[in-house]
Structure 1
């Protein structure tokens, strides 16, 4: 039985859904073919363009991020096409496995799960592909299993420097609306996203942002597609409708979430996440523990993955923390299972929520008998207080 107070859901998604979004979804079911729905659908489609920072097509599917992965590939690729992917972690690996099952050939640039993608390694491989066999480069922007961010603008420059025609596909499932992202400016061809993280919604919506180059590729692509077909969406979407039943109440919530993001200002949203990421990492280091991402420029503002001391179980620590403090932390996945726990600090999240989370982690470390140094929460508090003081001084000038 749950104790007093609210449950702390501090996994890296699904995230806490704000009351405003919950209230927006609390509506009677609407006729998705009726005249009133057009405004709901159009607002959602146009609003997501502002979040992706694109003037191109945005497609909204009822589905999870995995569906958006599949949509990106089946709309642009043909059987046997070669796709270059980068091993940033568990979710990059799952995307590769999905591509394999679709009948694509995949090539993985090996990574150590402690940093984002290496743009130089991608450029080197593309330069070697003189026959132009590689049809797409697929990169995870924010690897949810490791807390590492890939430099997408650098990846685009690497593709251009190699003079290679491959499409650039980017997974932003755990980064969109939390970290700076620019679909058009960075020359991304297909961006993949989901509703349950930075967009502050329950799971159930997935997204593709599509460039003109990707739309052109879709005209000749030969992988089977039906449910995920962009072409089926295009006509109805022009007037705010969908070719099949959309997730109507989630679209109500999406429109409210987009309003909230713009009220705060996207740049402020990104700065807030970066601040919380820095504060969390300072706490981890003060505890004498190690952050999984060991490349400072790639450290994420969305989550912090923490390595356990040798011989100690991350899952046992998470169990103690849940049972004693009613707080869920993310588990380690595949290669880092039971060796890592993940602190989610994204979405509808503020300074006090971070401090409550880090206090729960520190108390959990104590009760679990994990060797650590006290003072991590104070280090984070000092970081956040310094940021607030700087903001106050800037506002006074």
Structure 2
């Protein structure tokens, strides 16, 4: 291989791909998308996958084709990328605050149908004033804190009060509620995760009933994750699940949800063999999302990460009698797929060890 342009790698074996590169197993990806979509067949809730996990509009199209009701994202910049790709039904699961961002949201509303989260009177009035002046309508969800202690108003009366305000304002339409059980999604014991997730969702759905009894329709109640989709997706009164990591997977979620396959990995090259049981590869903290721990070595039983503190290197402990040589490739599985995909500009999509395509990660770096 004599090209550094990934688009010229199509048809090459992975052994000829430059490194580090972010790989995506096409068969595993499709199996994951199909499995999650199948769960929601004949259920009252729908799947609104989270874009922040993979940030790739090619994957979004596969998710929409499989029956997703829309797409969730974390940032306004991600929503703009989705709109550029022709996606209209976009939930920005965050507060859009400040005149610069609200002006961008108004422009987005002219070519898509965004929904935003709101948890304060000040933000609701900002959105109302800007939308009214531009003669557009912004759909809004009241975010309810169900135990994460991040954004969100309290359930019950405080949520009802904010709902009534939004319903009274021009330019902004109350669409429903958002509540995210993010503090529970990685509990290792499934029974405990199920019990605590259902307990967290109870006040969210009770708030829905309170709002509906006041005469205000609630069209959407949304939340959930890959770790809790089987509980959130079956909970009466919840309409949408925002699972995201299931598509590409990382090892942290795989330990919790082994029914999904690990489609994402990082291809690396062994650049040094300083000891018989050690290999140094050409990726470090700059190239692997490792918030939940160092990466794991793929398809090499007995190998593990010996040291992962450098920016550009990782030290691999090899099994006895391993004949790994300088120049050989190793794949690593990150602990956090969301932050890993944010570090790369493309997925090298492969099938049976051969590069099939190169997909842009258009949402990479979209922090605003």
Structure with the larger strand share = 2
Give TM-score scaled by structure 1 length. 0.31
Structure with the larger helix share = 1
Give TM-score scaled by structure 2 length. 0.33
